[in-house]
Amino acid sequence: MKKIEAIIRKSKFDEVVKALHDAEINFFSYWDVTGVGNESIGSVYRGVEYSTKDIQRRYLSIVVSDSFVDTAVDAIIKSGATGNVGDGKIFVLPCEEAYRIRTGEKGTKSFN
């Protein structure tokens, strides 16, 4: 099992959710977050300069079986990319075990 953590643009969230559902990844958690990045490039919209360092983001936490890692990552990249600075990051981490609280089941059966 792997845990996928993705930080994406809030504006791309609905597209990412649809892509994950289309890839049969139907359960994940998410939070609204703000972060600071390395880029100092700003953008101008209607005469107002905005920093790309502190754009609102969504943080997704997804646990999948090893066979779904590439599918999930590809879905996030294809649906979340704009091609501009600040599109986000994806991290893939090992996940030792998963348990379903209600039944006590463990392993991949606990989150399918």
**Under 8 Å CB-to-CB from 34, ≥6 apart: which residues?**
54, 55, 56, 57
Rounded to 10 deg, the angle between the 69-80 and 13-22 helix axes is 150
Place of tokens 């990319």: 81
Residue 108 near residue 65 (C-beta atoms within 8 A): yes
Residues 12 and 82: their CA atoms lie apart, in Å, by 9
Give the pLDDT confidence of 9-40 residue by residue, as tens digits: 999 999 999 999 999 998 999 999 987 766 65
pTM for this entry? 0.83
Residue pair 63/111 in contact by the 8 Å Cβ criterion: yes
Comparison of pLDDT for 71 and 109, the residue scoring more? 71
Question: 44-65 pLDDT, tens per residue?
Answer: 667 776 666 667 899 999 999 9
CATH 3.90.700.10 fits 2-110, yes or no: no
